[in-house]
Structure 1
Amino acid sequence: MAAERLLFSCAGIKEGGEFPIVYTGRGENKSPEFYLQNLDSRAKTLALTLEDLSHPLKKDFTHWLIWNIPARASIPSGIPKGKTVAELGGARQGLAYGWHCYAGPKPPFGQTHRYRFRLYSLDRKLDLGPYTRKSVFLKAAAPYILQKGELTASFGSKKEPEKQWVPSFSN
């Protein structure tokens, strides 16, 4: 029997839409809030990744990796930096563009990139160290994934902000 897709939504971000600036590296760079809709009753933990699907050098470049979030109906916004997140029952954050933290979209000025959140429900906690990368996480998690869902959105900066002229005084 195939697992039911994990349905979730994200505060201020619609599938195929755009990131609000608050959740980007050009804004407050804080993680958004997530709302789960059909979490499997066997789920013990949740895991999240954020990937840049448009990165020119690395396919699906990982911006964020967090796992061992206790299974729940929502994940709060503004998850703090740290290898372990006490506020989330000891959840772990690994290595990505954000080292042990959320690192929101921040493509080069003049470019728009597509980003994907992936949310996983697992039937157990994973005993992985804080220097874990996405590939190691996925290999370790594979036998225990109950559900998986994703949400894709874009973010871009049309041009560099205008530089302010500052007078210089020289004699």
Structure 2
Amino acid sequence: MEPLVDCVIEDDRWAAFGLEPLAESAARAALLHLGVVPEAFQIALLGCDDARIAVLNADFRGKPKPTNVLSWPAWDLSPETPGAAPERPDPAPGGEIDGLGDIAIAWETCEREAAEQGKPLSDHVTHLIVHGTLHLLGYDHETEADAALMEGHEVAILATLGLSDPY
């Protein structure tokens, strides 16, 4: 069976941390919670540092500074109405695996945020992988209604993994 998450590790701290199994578990929990078959999709995940994510953030969002996580969905599944659920991705015909999109996560920002929030790095990274996966599935937090829906799913997904409400 193919892994759901295909990790590309640019910063060795992510490999030592164990990003691959953590990301697999978090992304799988997110898809299962939303009724999406994990075996039908794959997510590309880049484990990088702040310098790399700052370049990506500048290139794709016009914000030349580090951030914790970025995502690039393969499809626009976002709803027309704020607070409405996005469309679900359809599995490819013939059982082929479809790319759901790409996520990048930055070591220094994640480490700093976890310390500031007084939580284990693994809990914070799990939350960010769930968050990024929801973005790939069309969820967003641009309006209060969208944020409430997305955060509600995050809390529920993290609870299935034994983690407390990050908000």
TM-score (norm 1): 0.26
TM-score (norm 2): 0.27
User: Going by fraction, where is strand more abundant, 1 or 2?
Assistant: 1
User: Going by fraction, where is helix more abundant, 1 or 2?
Assistant: 2
Q: Select the structure of larger CA radius of gyration.
A: 1
